[in-house]
Structure formats: structure tokens, C-alpha cells
Homo-oligomer: A and B are copies of this chain.
Amino acid sequence: MVGLSLVTRQKRSSIVVDPRFVKIAPHHREDNREDNTVRDIARHYARDIRLLQSGNELFAEGEAAEMFFVVLDGWLVQYRILEDGRRQILDFALPGAVLGLSGGAAARYGYSVEAIGTATVAALPTSSLSDILSVEPEFAVALLSSTGAALESAFDSLTDTGRRTAREAVAHFLLRIEQRIRQDGDAAPDGAVEFPLIQEHIGDALGLTAVHVCRTLRKLRSEGLVEVGRGKLRITNRRGLALTAGVFHEQAAKPRLAC
């Protein structure tokens, strides 16, 4: 029923940097206060900052969850691998995302994480969480906000995977991932955004095979709805794509997504 991912990707290694020497260029919109809180506080309390190369593993499912992480830059994937190699991508982590914070009860990570392209994350000891929270009350709100966003994203994926056809799911996926990318500030003059995912990523996120994602994308492309490939994503007909996804809601000026 499902494609195998037999590739051995896990090369564990990351460059650890003293937090004091790291200066991150603000490449995100400054008007987005909410999102920055997490990153700022994370940077401040980080035990260390890690630079991950493409394919490097941040942590693996089952390991002791002694640290949690906040993405400062780049993309990462959260995934689980079944015994026979089937892979389910749970979510993509963009800057501001919190990783490995299962809530405290769980002593082990519930999924694996690896970098797509080069990524930078702040590492914080899980044990220090309640201390930080008592000093930085806003951090709790920020964390809850981040976790809430992650939950929404998981619900979206679940709906795509469970109750949408491949065509609808891919269309919906592209719409929401593009929206997330834009929130982080990136944007090109022609409306294209940076898009480091390959078709296998999309498939593993939506419970489809890469082959079928290929066919689906090809059709969407031929209909003039999107342009994907070469690390770029451009939605050429947002309304049409939303209609295809089955989530079009007319509203004021800017069409809004739902479901």
C-alpha cells in the first residue's frame, strides 16, 4: 500500500556553537511579535546552538528526551518510520517551531527529526523548562501558541490524509505550506517562495507515494494552478487551487483558507 524509504539518512552530527558568539540576521518580519518571543527566549536560555547539515538527525524516536529545541533557521522534518520502512512525515518545522517538547510526562521522544538543507536550532534542557516558565511567564503563552499551531497543522494533515483525495490533499497541502513559508517573511517579486521539499516529502506527509504525487502535481501544473520544482513554489492561481482543495471561502478582499 505504501512506499518504502530504505535510504539510510541518519548521519548524526552537528556543530555546537557557544550561544554568546551567535548572531542571527533577522530575516523575518519584525512586526510578528508573537513568533519572535519563542526564538528570543530560546536563544537566551539555550545551552547551545546547533548547526545541522542537510540530512543530519537532531534526535530520534525513542531517545531520552533530555532536551527540547527551537528552530532558529532552516527547515526540518518530523517523522516516524514503521518497521518495514514506511515513513510518515508528521510535520515540517520552520523557524520558530518547538521540537521535542512532548509535555513532560513522556521521557522519550515520540518521533525523529532531521534537517532539510542547513538548519540552526537552539537546544534547551527539558529539566529547566519549569524554571524558565516561572521567570518568563510570556514564554508559556508563546510555547502554548507554538504547540497549538503544531496541533492545527497536524489536524490539517490528518484531514488531508484521511478524507481528501490525492488531488485535493496535494492542493490543500501546497496552500497551507505556502502560507506558513510566507509568515516567516520570505517572498520573491513574482510571488514564488523558497521550497526545499521534494516530491517524496509531500508524499510521506500526505500518505501517498512519490509517483502519485508526481502525477498529481503534473496535472495541477498543466492546469496552470501552481509551479513547483527547483526549490521554488509559486501559486499561479490561488482561487483555482483553493477550489481544487475544496476549501474556498469567499471573504472580503483576500480569500481565506479554512478546514
Name A residues whose Cβ lies closer than 8 Å to a Cβ of B: 1-2, 34, 61-62, 80, 82-84, 86-88, 90, 101-106, 110-111, 129-130, 133-134, 137, 140-141, 143-152, 154-155, 157-159, 161-165, 204-207, 246-247, 258-259
Contacts of A205 in B (CB 8 A): 162
Give the number of times this chain occurs in the complex, counting copies.
2
Which listed residue (B2, B84, B151, B246) contacts A154, Cβ 8 A? Answer: B151
Contacts of A162 in B (CB 8 A): 88, 157, 161, 204-207
Known contacts A133-B137, A137-B134, A259-B80; decide if A105 and B34 are in contact (CB<8 Å).
Answer: yes
Q: Which residue of B lies closest to A168 (CB)?
A: B82
Expressed in whole angstroms, the minimum distance between the Cβ of A250 and any Cβ of chain B is 13
Which listed residue (B129, B149, B259) contacts A82, Cβ 8 A? Answer: B259
Contact A129 B101, beta carbon cutoff 8 Å: no
The 6 closest A-B pairs by CB, nearest first: A103-B148, A162-B207, A103-B145, A140-B140, A154-B154, A88-B159
